[in-house]
């Protein structure tokens, strides 16, 4: 048996022994996605984590995602498959900064992208993801919204609603570095392809796209579309499912630098170690967890 297959078998055995379920984000390495029990976007993963029977959830993704799982599952252990996997966007706002900002806009309600810490969620009215941001904002009982921390997603939402959206200046380094020039170049190379982008891209890039979608929405869109080739404006990990689930279609990235180092920190080795030593447990202090859960639950109630 090859080394990789041995490692996969070891993970399966350890998982059974621990009574764990493995969930993975669409940006994870292909071999990590393939060994997971469930793969999805942030919203699907949060919903899936409300339906877990297993005693332990092993999260292959970044810290805020595992933290959301922990917020929803106070009686289970949530292990992050690699301790250093953070999200620089989530780190762009602290709870103190949010408290200060809220004082400036006392009438506004805070809509918080899930790419944020539990402490920040605890200071927010409701969470949203890239899959449901517009719906969430429309259902918030306020005409004035403080949107944190991603300015590009907030800007995209502001174009789809009449509400007043006040933007916090955070951004994702992976999506924000994609430029209009690069998109035009990619379109020249693949004139037949449809451009699908994530709303974390810059507004001027979003303006050039046929569709603006979360990672799982992109996978569904490509499957359902009669078109056969697509230019993809998000992290490259999404290509694995796009190609696996659409073997007759072609997918191209805009640039060769669409990789999130934090998402790629998880490997089969770090996953095996995490389960074997039951390490990297993500814990949220109870007072913060309860407040953050209100914001997450409000989001999950939005249909």
Residue 33: name its binding partner from ligand SF4, ligand 13P, none (Cβ under 5 to 8 Å by kind).
none
- Please list every residue from 171 through 210 that binds ligand 13P, using CB under 6 A: 172, 198, 200
115 lines the binding site for ligand 13P (CB under 6 A): yes
214 binds ligand 13P (CB under 6 A): yes
- Residue with the two structure tokens 């072609």: 250
Regarding 174 and contact with ligand SF4 (CB under 6 A), the answer is: yes
Question: Minimum distance from CB of 233 to ligand SF4 (Å)?
Answer: 12
Query: Which of ligand 13P, ligand SF4, none does residue 88 bind to, with CB < 5 to 8 Å depending on kind?
Result: ligand SF4
Asked whether position 236 contacts ligand 13P by CB under 6 A, the answer is no
In the complex with ligand 13P, which residue's Cβ is closer, 82 or 272? 82
Closest distance between ligand SF4 and the C-beta of residue 19, in Å? 28
Euclidean distance between CA atoms 26 and 195, whole angstroms? 19
**Least spacing, CB of residue 173 vs ligand 13P, in Å:** 10
Closest distance to ligand 13P from the beta carbon of 172 (Å): 5
From residue 7, give the alpha-carbon distance in Å to each of 81, 263, 269, 275, 281: 15, 20, 7, 12, 22
Cβ 57 to ligand 13P shortest distance, Å:
17
Could you tell me if 93 and 122 are in contact, meaning their C-beta atoms sit under 8 angstroms apart?
no
Instruction: Note whether 255 binds ligand SF4 by CB under 6 A.
Output: no
Q: Which is nearer to ligand SF4, 108 or 282 (CB)?
A: 282
The span from the CA of 94 to the CA of 281, in Å, is: 22
What is the rounded distance in angstroms from the CA atom of residue 177 to the CA atom of residue 35?
31
The Cβ of residue 119 has, within 10 Å, a number of other Cβ atoms equal to 18
Residue 92, interface with ligand SF4 (CB under 6 A)? no
124 binds, among ligand 13P, ligand SF4, none (CB under 5 to 8 A by kind): none
Query: Which option in ligand 13P, ligand SF4, none does residue 262 bind, with CB closer than 5 to 8 A by kind?
Result: ligand SF4
Helices (H), the chain: 3-18, 30-35, 42-48, 63-72, 95-104, 118-122, 133-139, 151-158, 173-176, 180-189, 203-206, 215-224, 239-245, 268-276, 286-301
User: Should residue 42 be labelled a site residue for ligand 13P when binding is judged by CB under 6 A?
Assistant: yes
- Establish if 262 lies at the interface with ligand 13P (CB under 6 A): no
Nearest CA to 233 out of 274, 179, 279, 191 is that of 179
HSE at residue 264, side-chain half, CA atoms within 13 A, is 9
CA 11, 216, 54, 299 torsion-angle sign = positive
- Quote the radius of gyration of the chain (alpha carbons, Å): 19
Q: Closest separation between CB of residue 219 and ligand 13P, Å?
A: 10
User: Which DSSP symbol is given to 193?
Assistant: P
Residues that bind ligand 13P (CB under 6 A): 26, 41-42, 115, 129-130, 172, 198, 200, 214-215, 235
Residues that bind ligand SF4 (CB under 6 A): 62, 87-89, 115, 172-174, 200, 235, 260, 262-263
């Amino acid at each position: 048996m090859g080394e990789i297959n041995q490692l996969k078998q070891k993970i399966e055995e350890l998982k059974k022994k621990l009574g764990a379920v493995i969930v993975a984000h669409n940006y994870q390495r292909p071999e990590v996605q393939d060994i997971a029990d469930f793969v999805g976007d942030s919203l699907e993963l949060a919903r899936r984590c409300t339906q877990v029977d297993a005693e332990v959830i092993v999260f292959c993704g970044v810290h805020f995602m595992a933290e959301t799982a922990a917020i929803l599952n106070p009686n289970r252990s949530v292990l992050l498959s690699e301790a250093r996997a953070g999200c620089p966007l989530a780190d762009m706002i602290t709870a103190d900064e949010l408290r200060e900002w809220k004082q400036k806009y006392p009438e506004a309600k805070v809509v918080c992208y899930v790419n944020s810490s539990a402490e920040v969620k605890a200071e927010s009215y409701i969470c949203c993801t890239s899959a449901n941001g517009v719906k969430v904002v429309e259902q918030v009982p306020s005409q004035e919204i403080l949107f944190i921390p991603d300015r590009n997603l907030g800007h995209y939402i502001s174009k789809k609603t009449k509400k007043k959206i006040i933007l916090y200046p955070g951004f994702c380094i992976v999506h924000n570095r994609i430029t209009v020039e690069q998109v035009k170049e990619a379109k020249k190379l693949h004139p037949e392809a449809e451009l699908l982008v994530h709303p974390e891209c810059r507004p001027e890039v979003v303006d050039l796209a046929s569709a603006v979608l979360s990672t799982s929405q992109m996978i569904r869109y490509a499957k359902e579309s009669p078109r056969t080739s697509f230019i993809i404006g998000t992290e490259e990990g999404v290509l694995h499912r796009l190609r696996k689930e659409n073997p007759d279609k072609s997918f191209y990235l805009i640039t060769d630098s669409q990789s999130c180092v934090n998402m790629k920190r998880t490997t089969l080795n770090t996953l095996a170690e995490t389960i074997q030593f039951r390490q990297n447990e993500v814990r949220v202090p109870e007072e913060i967890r309860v407040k953050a859960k209100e914001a997450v639950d409000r989001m999950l109630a939005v249909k």
